[in-house]
Amino acid sequence: MLVYLLRRLAQSVFVLIAMMIVVFFGVYMIGNPVDILISPDATPAEIEETMARFGFDQPVYIQFLKFVGNALQGDLGRSFVHGEPAVQLILSYMPATLELAALGLLFSVAIGVPLGVYAGYKADRWQGRAIMTGSIFGFSLPNFWVGMLFILIFAVQLQWLPSTGRGDTVEVLGMRLSIFSSNGLQYMILPALTLALYKASLVTRLARAGTQEALTQDYVKFARAKGVSETRILFVHVLKNIMIPIITVLGLELGSMIAFAVVTETVFAWPGMGKLLIDSITTLDRPVIVAYLMLTVIIFIVINFTVDVIYTLLDPRVRVKGEAA
Amino acid sequence: MSVLELRDLQTHFFTDAGVVKAVDGVSFSLDEGEVLGLVGESGSGKSVTGFSILRLVDPPGRVVGGQINFRGQDLAALPEREMRALRGNKIAMIFQDPMMTLNPVLKIETQMVEAVRAHEKVSHAAARDRAISALDKVGIPSPAERLAAYPHQFSGGMRQRVAIAIALLNGPDLIVADEPTTALDVTIQSQILAEVQELARDTGTALIWITHDLAVVAGLADKISVMYAGRIVESGPTDAVLTAPGHPYTAGLLGSIPGHGRRGERLTQIPGMAPNMAHMPQGCAFGPRCPHVSDTCRGSAPQITDYGTGRGLRCHHPILAAEGAA
Ligand SMILES: Nc1ncnc2c1ncn2[C@@H]1O[C@H](COP(=O)(O)OP(=O)(O)OP(=O)(O)O)[C@@H](O)[C@H]1O
Ligand SMILES: [Mg+2]
């Protein structure tokens, strides 16, 4: 178990290094930040001075080594625009994105699991088919379109929920969060639902496939032979078995949920990391872009790692094999 | 009083390749405390018969005809809700494969307690106590601790004991045991056989013991029904059937058991294979493999006829008692 985790850790470090190279040179290629940093009527001496201050006059590899050196100390540069350290800037936007992703994840499980289990149970009936057809919409409708549709229906027409912004926040553990204030929660529902839709479809399909498979197993038949009710068979015997793959996939998807909240955040003007990224790209705020990409990679790695651990805890068979190893 | 009486049970599978008559007119009856051995080759329809009694045949299979009289009520016509109340309560089943019957992600405790609480409003603690005594009865050491274990922490033999313990939990009137010992090694097999036999005798539980092995039922069953291609071809008291089989198929099964019959005699095998159930032969289903086959057999399928006391036989050319002994 420990050996396995250590090996995973080593892999992660390798991924991190590879990402540093890709991110740095990738971003280095796009545009010249000097154009934005320096006013067009600056004197050559001023330009020279600015270039030197940001280190742009150095050869690329020197810049890269400097970048790596600083990165190892947790310094990914200062935002050209905000003047703050990029990492700090992103971290200050992070809670908003995290809470949105968390609520989205919750929604996708709360919607997807019951629908999927039911669709698997009624696979050959119209109920099962209807749910599957519905999930195709969840897969194929673009995020921004769904977001705008939600705004149109629930905010503009019905006026049930606010459309944009973040609402009231409460300070929890030093982070400002909306999820714990009822007003803030109202602001979260539409963007979280939008974000959840794709994942909910995914969970529905996973749960359906798993349920269908599990229902053919002898242990289900044996549970029936014991006289256990169908509800209990579905939501204890089957669910406990299918949660393992669902949690794995969802855990992995949490990363992409955070990373790709970009569109949803933009549509709902949700002040999270995604919106910050879009803003930084338009202003060519290189350190922020680089820091965002690096942090995203780290988030992915941490999540994959956590999923592995949860997975071992969920499946008693893996757990024992691990202990024996 | 008869606990179970099957009358002309028909269970068919409606597959793309055609209708498979897995059970095609099976009848037998069982009294309290009686043990019936249901014997036949692989694919003869033994398991499907067992599942039909509990109404647990999976689609595309369906019980399409006949009666399943259990203590006077016809299970084939019972609403699903009432059927569920009987399953695991008055009628229990032990499955063929001990490795697959327990849920891998639930503790033994969960799986036993739910079997009690599905039928009785008792506390978790009371159900747990009953689970412990059931595990104790089937010979599982330190049952209280073992309750916290998961199925994979048990060996195959132990798992089958757990499944048997689950079948005993609610003191059923009838247990359908589907080759419960086939997957186990011989010593454990005879151990479990002896235990189950004792339990049936003590509690008056009627038992249907499904197996493909005549040797297993010889010491266990009061009576035997031999199944071939979805039908009972011979039935009767165990001793009578085993000493003087009337059907060439029964005789063939006996001839293939080592140690049966006289020393030095060669083991015989029934030639050919069990028929494809989707394309049954004309006339007698056993005809193509039978040493005594005649035109009569090819022309029409034989009906069940009385053959001595308490015996039934489905054959145009029964082996005469004298011939069988010769
Ligand atoms: N799902 C199914 N679809 C189609 N036919 C089936 C299905 N299940 C069973 N059958 C048919 O029913 C017949 C009897 O099967 P059954 O499982 O009762 O045999 P068995 O006597 O228990 O054999 P074994 O000793 O191998 O367990 C099979 O030969 C097969 O043709
Ligand atoms: Mg079988």
Q: pLDDT digits over A141-155, tens only?
A: 888 888 888 888 888
Cβ proximity of B192 and B180 under 8 Å = yes
Q: How far is B112 from chain A (nearest CA, A)?
A: 9
**The predicted structure's pLDDT at residue B79:** 92
Asked if residue A300 belongs to a domain, the reply is yes
Per-residue pLDDT at B261? 53
Which structure tokens are listed for A61? 């590899």
Q: Do B152 and A216 touch (CB under 8 A)?
A: no
Could you tell me where the DSSP H helices lie in chain A?
2-29, 34-37, 44-54, 60-72, 86-121, 126-140, 143-150, 182-215, 218-225, 230-232, 239-259, 261-267, 273-282, 286-314, 316-324
What distance in Å separates the CA atoms of residue B247 and residue B313, rounded to the nearest whole number? 7
Residue among B14, B46, B51, B233 to mutate when testing ligand 1 (max atoms within 8 A of CB): B46
According to DSSP, the residues that pair with B87 across neighbouring strands are: B91
Residue B134 touches chain A, beta carbons under 8 Å: no
Give me the residue from B100, B105, B119 closest to A241, CB to CB.
B105
- CA-nearest of B300, B299, B275 to B286 is B275
Query: Which residue is associated with the tokens 């036949």?
Result: B40
Whole-number average pLDDT of chain A: 83
CA nearest to A314 within chain B: B105
Over residues A20-49, mean pLDDT: 73
Q: How far is the CA of A221 from the centre of ligand 2 (A)?
A: 14
**Per-residue pLDDT for A34 more than 80?**
no
- Residues A36, A80: contact at Cβ < 8 Å? yes
* Domain range enclosing A230: 86-324
pLDDT band at A31 (very low <50, low <70, confident <90, very high): low
* A124 domain residue, yes or no: yes
Q: How far apart are CA A282 and CA A290, in angstroms?
A: 14
| Residue B151: cis peptide before it, omega within 30 degrees of 0 | no
- pLDDT given at position B265: 60
CA atoms within 13 A on the CB side of B271: 7
Are the C-beta atoms of A257 and A198 separated by less than 8 Å?
no
Query: Which domains are delineated in chain B?
Result: 2-90+170-260+268-321 (3.40.50.300), 99-169 (no CATH)
Quote the ipTM score. Answer: 0.89
Q: Is residue A30 part of a domain?
A: no
Say which residues have a Cβ less than 8 Å from residue B178's Cβ, sequence separation at least 6: B46, B47, B50, B93, B94, B95, B96, B210
pTM, whole model, 2 decimals? 0.79
More confident residue, A222 or B267: A222
In a domain, A40, yes or no: no
Q: Does the Cβ of B212 fall within 6 Å of ligand 1?
A: yes
Phi/psi at A158 (5° precision): -85, -20
Number of domains present in the structure of chain A: 1
Q: How far apart are CA B114 and CA B145, in angstroms?
A: 18
Q: Do A225 and B152 touch (CB under 8 A)?
A: no
* pLDDT at residue A173 is higher than 50: yes
Nearest CA to ligand 1 atom 7: B13
In whole angstroms, give the CA distance from residue A67 to residue B211. 74
Residue A285 in domain? yes
**What pLDDT was estimated at residue B321?**
58
Contact A222 B101 (CB under 8 A): yes
Question: Dihedral angle at the C-alpha atoms of A204, A101, A5, A243, nearest 10 degrees?
Answer: -20
**Which among B100, B102, B150 is the nearest to A316, CB-wise?**
B150
Residue A233 lies in a domain: yes
Q: Which of residues 303-322 of B touch A (CB under 8 A)?
A: none
- 3-class secondary structure, A155: helix
pLDDT at A325 over 50: no
CA of B209 to the centre of ligand 2 (A): 11
**B88 vs A227, A232, A236: nearest CB:** A227
In a domain, residue A183? The reply is: yes
Tell me the sheet residues that pair with B223.
Answer: B36, B237
Three-state secondary-structure class, residue A248: helix
User: Which segments of chain B have a pLDDT < 70?
Assistant: 183, 258-267, 321-326
The residue whose CA is least distant from atom 4 of ligand 1 is B13
Which residues, other chains included, contact B300 with Cβ-Cβ below 8 Å and sequence gap of 6+? B283, B284
Question: Does ligand 1 have an atom closer than 6 angstroms to the CB of B277?
Answer: yes
The CATH number that applies at residue A265 is: 1.10.3720.10
C-alpha–C-alpha distance, residues A73 and A71, integer Å: 5
B43 CB near ligand 1 (under 6 Å): yes
